[in-house]
Each structure stands twice: as C-alpha cells, then as structure tokens.
Amino acid sequence: MPRKLFRKFLPDHETIRQSRWIRPFGSWLHHPNLWHLNRHSVAGGVAVGLFAGLIPGPLQMLSGALLAIVFRVNLPVAVFTTLYTNPLTIVPLYVLAYEYGAVLTGAHNGGLANLAPPELSWDNWLTPLLVWLESMGRPFFIGLPMLGLTLALLGYVTARLLWKLWVIREWRKRAARRA
C-alpha cells in the first residue's frame, strides 16, 4: 500500500510531537490528518503543495506547511510536494502562468520580454522585484493563482486515482494468493 511506502520515510507521530522544534506550536500541529496517511490527507497534501510551490520567493515550504495546517491535510506531503519548483522549473512555470493568464484575460502586456528577471543586489532587491512583477501585469497576477488552482485540482484527482489503483492492485494480488 502507499501507506507503507510513505511510512519508510516519515517519522512517527510521537517523535514529531516530542520534537523541540514543533512543541512550541502546541495543538496546531497535533491534528491527526496532518500526519496520517490516508487517501484524503495525502491527496490534499499534494494539492496544497502544488499550489504553494508557485508562490514567489523562498516561502513555498512555509506556505505549504501553513496551508496544510489550515486545510488539515498531510503536512510532510504538502511540504515535500512544493519541491517541484526549483531554479530550473520556476521560469517555465511562470511563463506558463503568464500565458494562462493572457488566455483567461485576453490581454498581453508586451509578451514574454517582461519575464526576464531583474538584476537584484543585497542592498536593493525589493524595489526592482516589485517593478518587475508589476511589469508583467494582469495576465501574470491572474494566471499564477489560476495555474496554482489548476495544478492543485489535477494533483488532487491524480493522487486519489493513483491511490485507488494501488488499492485495487493490492486487492487483486491478495485474491490471487488466496485462490
């Protein structure tokens, strides 16, 4: 079962509860769905992770964890799923988000030329970043959350389907052993 596969890599609930890093958060992190491996919680974790992975900047894992707590889905799966975005995939995903937004709004703000990120320095990074994000305009700001929602929906459905196929396969194997 998928549960056995995931349990190899995840710590048990009591170890997490006793962690000195998690203990200060009290009851927030003690909801059973945050750590249990069932089709609802894992599929929800995949959906949350796919959505949070598109959040700009280094906040994807933190956002994935916070959304997992809010929606009470599997927290480790949500955080791990955010890793689909990295320096190699983020630019193509943002181009896709821009084009998705352009299709949804029917507007283009100068094409893909605006997607080249600005030069950032340690002492002045916020202003150029905000100007760059503003230059992409409405198609990007509509396309990014819509792409996140689309990926989340596709991820949720796919995870549920794969879980169901795995269970059916295990049932058939068990039936074949009994026969």
Pairwise CA distance, residues 116 & 75, whole Å: 33
Alpha carbon distance 57, 157 (integer Å): 27
| Rounded-to-integer distance, Cα 52 and Cα 63, Å | 6
Burial of 162 (0-12, 13-18, 19+ CB in 10 A): middle
Crossing angle (nearest 10°) for helices 39-52 and 60-71: 140
Provide the pLDDT for residue 135. 72
Spatial separation of the C-alpha atoms in residues 162 and 137, rounded to whole Å: 37
pLDDT of residue 43: 96
pLDDT per residue rounded down to tens, the chain (179 residues): 566 666 666 666 666 666 676 666 666 777 777 888 899 999 999 999 999 999 877 789 989 999 999 999 999 999 999 999 988 888 789 889 988 998 988 876 555 555 666 666 777 767 776 777 777 778 888 999 999 999 999 999 999 999 999 999 999 999 999 88
Give the model's pLDDT for residue 100.
93
Task: Classify each residue of 101-129 as buried b or exposed e, where b means 16 or more C-beta atoms within 10 Å of its C-beta.
Answer: bbeebeebbeeeebbeeeeeeeeeeeeee
pTM tops 0.85: no
pLDDT value, residue 12? 65
And the tokens for 127? 């202003």
Contact yes or no for 102/137 (Cβ under 8 A) = no
Domain boundaries, the chain: 2-178
Res 33: pLDDT: 79
**pLDDT given at position 50:** 97
